[in-house]
A and B are shown apart, each in its own frame.
Chain A
Amino acid sequence: MKKLRLHPCGNYKEKYEEELTIFETDFGRLWVGIGLILLFVVIPLISSPYLLYVINHIGIFAIAAVGLNLLIGFTGQISLGHGAFFGVGGYAAAILTTKLGFPFYLSVLSAGIITAMVGLVFGLPSARLKHLYLTIATLAGQFILQFLFVNWESLTGGAMGIILPRATLFGLSLKSDHTYFYVVFICFVAMLWVAKNLLRTRYGRAFIAIRDNDRAAEGMGIPIFHYKLLAFAISSFYAGFAGALWTHYLASITPDPFTLFLSVEFIAMIIIGGLGSLTGSVFGAIFITSLNEILSHASEFFMNLPALAGVALTIAPLREFVFGLAIVLFIIFEPRGLAEVWRIIRSSFRLWPFSY
C-alpha cells in the first residue's frame, strides 16, 4: 500500500500541478469519500420525508447558487436576474414535457441549454461594458421575463401555470422524496465536480483574471468579451438546470415564485456562503433554505396560538428583513462568508492543540 500523504510542515511544492491539485493530502480524498457515503447512504436512511423535502430543496438551490457564484464570485459580474433564469429553466422543462413529451432527463438538460441562450440575450448588450451595466441589464431581464411568464398565456399558461406529470426516469417513478433525493444529489455532485474542475482549466483562470483586473486580463491576451459571455451562459445553464429540477420536483409551475426577491435570495446565498468559494455556495444554500423553513415554522407556530395570530401575519415580511440584514451583516463583518468561518474552524482543528 502506498504511503498516505499528510500535510507537510512547509511549502514544498515544486511543480505547478502540485499547486493545482484538489486534494493536498490523502485525508482529503478519504473525507470526501466518507462525506459521499454519508450523503447517499446515511442521510436518506435517517431522514423523515419532511426533512428530505428540505434537503432536496437545499440541493436544488445549491446547484443554482454554485452557478451564480461562478458568475459573481469568480468572474466578478453581478446578475440580478437569476430568479427569472431559474424560472425560465422551470418553464422550459414544463413546456417541453407537457407539449412535446420530452422524457425527464432530456427536458432538464434542454431546459439548461435554453436558459443559457436566454441568458445570453441579456448578457450580450452588457458584456461589452463594465459590470454596472450587466447588473442593470439583468435587472431589466428579470422584469421582462417575469412579464412574459404571466402574459404569454399560450405558452406558459399565465397565472394558472402548468401542471406536469410526475417525472419518471427509465421507467422508474420519481414520485417520492426518497427517489428524487438521489436524482437531485447525483446531479448536484456532478455539477459541483464540473464547476470545481472548470475552475482549474484555462477557462476558470480566465474568469478569475477578469474578476481581479479586467484591463490586465485583456492585456494578457484574454478575449474578455467571449469569456464574460461564456461565464454568463454557464451560470444561466446552472440556474436553468436547477429550475427544471425544481419544477419536476413540485410537478407544477406558476409565475409567482420567480420574482426579484428570488434573485436577491440567490445573491444572499452566495454572499453569506462566501463569494468565490464553491463550498461556500453550498453553505449559503443550506443557511438560506433552513432560515426560510425556520421562519415559516415560526409563523405557523404563532398562528396556532390564538392570542398571537396577529403576530403571525406580520411576521411574514420579516423574512425579507432578515435576508437583507443577513446580507448586510455578512458584507460588513465577514465579507468572505461562511466558507471563511469554515476554513478558520478547520485550520484551528488541524493545529490543535499546538496552535503556533
Chain B
Amino acid sequence: MEFFLQLLIQGLSVGFLYALAALGFVMIFKSSSVLNFAHGDLLAMGAFFFLVLSVWLKLPIYIAFILTLVGSFAMGFIIERLFLRPLIGESLILVIMLTVGLAAMFKGLLLFIFGGNLFAFPEFLPAGLSIRLGNINIPPVYVATFVISIIFLLLFGLFFKYSSQGIYMRSVADNQPAALSLGVHVRRVFALSWAIAALVCAMSGIILGIISGINVHSTSIIGLKVFPVVILGGLESIGGAIIGGIIIGLLETFTGGYISTSLREVVPYIVLVFILLVKPYGLFGLVEIERV
C-alpha cells in the first residue's frame, strides 16, 4: 500500500510536469497549428541555461530563475524571427520539418557544450515545503511541482479565455487569413506564442532538473512524451493537456513500478497508437477532424 501511494505521488508529479510541458506545445499548436518537434530541446535549453546561471556563475537562485525565464522568452522570440518568420505562408510540411531540423541542431549544440553527463541542481527549496501524509513523506520538489504547475495552468487558461492577446491567438489558429483580414497582427501572435512556449519550457525544464537532474538525452526525450499527452487530451485543449499529462504520468510510473522499467518508456506510445485508432481527437479535442 505504501509503495502504491509513493508511486501515486510520484506519478502525479511527473504527470503535472508533462502537463506543463504539454502546455507550451499546445500554445504553439493553438496559434500556428505547427507540431513542434523541437519542444524537448527548448526544454533542455531552459534547464541548461538555469544550470549555467545558478551553478557555474553562482548567481542567487531567485535571480537565476528570473533571468532564465527572461532569457528563454527572448530566445523564443529569436527562434521565431530567425527560423519561422521566413516560412509564414509556406506549406505546413516544411514548417514541421524545420522544427525537426531545429531539434537536431539544438541537441547537437547542447551535447557539444555540456556533453552527455548528468548535472544536478543545487537544493534550494525550503524543507518546510514537504508534506507528511501518514507515514508517506512528500518531498518539497513534488509539492513545488504541483504548485507551480497549477498556477501556470490556471494562468494560461485565463489568458486564452479572457485576454485580448489570447483571443488573437485562438483566432489565428482557427483561420489565419480571416484573422489577418480582421486586423490581427499575425506575426506578433506567432512571435509571442513561441516566446511564451519557450518560457513555459524553461519552467518545466527547471522542475525536471530539480526532480531528476538534467542530461541532454533524457531531457530532450521529454519533449517527445508530449505527443501522447496532447493526443490523449486533445490537441487544442489546455484542460486536456492537464488530464492527459496526469494520466500518462501515472501510467508510466505504475508500469515502471509494477511491470518493468524498460516498458515504462514505451507505454505512452503504445497508448498513443490505441488512442489514434479509437478516439483520434482525444478526450477534449475538437471533434471536427477531417477524415480524408
Taking Cβ atoms with an 8 Å cutoff, the residues of A that contact B are 72, 76, 78, 80, 122, 124-126, 128-133, 135-137, 139-141, 143-144, 147, 150-151, 214-215, 218, 224, 260-261, 264, 267-268, 271, 275, 314, 317-328, 331-332, 335
**8 A Cβ contacts from B147-199 to A:** none
Contacts of A318 in B (CB 8 A): 108, 112
Contacts of A268 in B (CB 8 A): 101, 104
Q: How far is the CA of A136 from the CA of B266 in the complex (A)?
A: 14
Contact status B97-A271, CB under 8 Å: yes
Q: Mark B224-238, 1 if CB is under 8 A from A, else 0.
A: 100110010001000
Q: Mark B95-130, 1 if CB is under 8 A from A, else 0.
A: 011101111111111011001000000000000000
Contacts of B96 in A (CB 8 A): 78, 132, 135
Contact status B83-A264, CB under 8 Å: no
Contact status B272-A136, CB under 8 Å: yes
What are 22 contact pairs spanning A and B, CB under 8 A?
A: A126-B276, A129-B280, A129-B290, A130-B290, A130-B292, A131-B93, A135-B35, A137-B273, A137-B276, A144-B269, A147-B265, A267-B100, A268-B104, A314-B112, A320-B108, A320-B111, A324-B102, A327-B97, A328-B83, A331-B101, A332-B86, A335-B94
Contact status B266-A144, CB under 8 Å: yes
**8 A Cβ contacts from B235-292 to A:** 235, 262-263, 265-266, 269-270, 272-273, 276-277, 280, 289-292
Contact status B108-A319, CB under 8 Å: yes
Contact status A317-B276, CB under 8 Å: no
Give B248 Cβ to nearest chain A Cβ, in Å: 13
Contacts of B290 in A (CB 8 A): 129-130, 214-215
> What secondary structure prevails in chain B residues at the interface with A?
helix
Q: How far is the CA of A260 from the CA of B83 in the complex (A)?
A: 22
Q: Is B2's CB within 8 Å of the partner chain A?
A: no
Q: How far is the CA of A128 from the CA of B90 in the complex (A)?
A: 24
Give A274 Cβ to nearest chain B Cβ, in Å: 12
Give B194 Cβ to nearest chain A Cβ, in Å: 15
Q: Is B5's CB within 8 Å of the partner chain A?
A: no
Q: Is B87's CB within 8 Å of the partner chain A?
A: yes
Give A51 Cβ to nearest chain B Cβ, in Å: 27
Give B32 Cβ to nearest chain A Cβ, in Å: 13
B interface residue count range (under 10 / 10 to 19 / 20 to 34 / 35 or more): 35 or more
Give B272 Cβ to nearest chain A Cβ, in Å: 4
Contact status B277-A332, CB under 8 Å: no
Given A124-B277, A317-B108, A321-B109, A331 and B97 touching (CB < 8 A)? Answer: yes
Contact status A130-B266, CB under 8 Å: no
Contact status B35-A327, CB under 8 Å: no
Give B232 Cβ to nearest chain A Cβ, in Å: 11
Q: Mark B18-57, 1 if CB is under 8 A from A, else 0.
A: 0000000000000000010100000000000000000000
Q: How far is the CA of A33 from the CA of B97 in the complex (A)?
A: 36
Give B45 Cβ to nearest chain A Cβ, in Å: 13
Q: A215-B292, A318-B108, A328-B102 are in contact. List 9 more A-B contacts (CB 8 A).
A: A131-B93, A147-B265, A214-B292, A218-B292, A314-B115, A322-B108, A328-B83, A328-B98, A328-B105
Contact status B269-A143, CB under 8 Å: yes
In the A-B complex, list the 4 residue pairs whose CB atoms are closest, starting with the nearest: A321-B108, A327-B101, A324-B105, A324-B104
Contact status B228-A133, CB under 8 Å: no
Contacts of A218 in B (CB 8 A): 292
CB contact between B270 and one of A133, A136, A144, A325 (< 8 Å): that residue = A144
Give B259 Cβ to nearest chain A Cβ, in Å: 12
Given A125-B276, A139-B227, A321-B105, A331 and B94 touching (CB < 8 A)? Answer: yes
Give B99 Cβ to nearest chain A Cβ, in Å: 9
Give A320 Cβ to nearest chain B Cβ, in Å: 3
Contact status A133-B280, CB under 8 Å: yes
Contacts of B280 in A (CB 8 A): 125, 128-129, 133
Shortest Cβ distance from A210 into B: residue: B292
Q: How far is the CA of A128 from the CA of B111 in the complex (A)?
A: 38
Q: How far is the CA of A122 from the CA of B227 in the complex (A)?
A: 15
Contact status A80-B100, CB under 8 Å: yes
Shortest Cβ distance from B85 into A: residue: A332
Contact status A140-B269, CB under 8 Å: yes
CB contact between B93 and one of A76, A136, A139, A261 (< 8 Å): that residue = A76
Shortest Cβ distance from B231 into A: residue: A136
Contacts of B103 in A (CB 8 A): 264, 324
Shortest Cβ distance from B108 into A: residue: A321
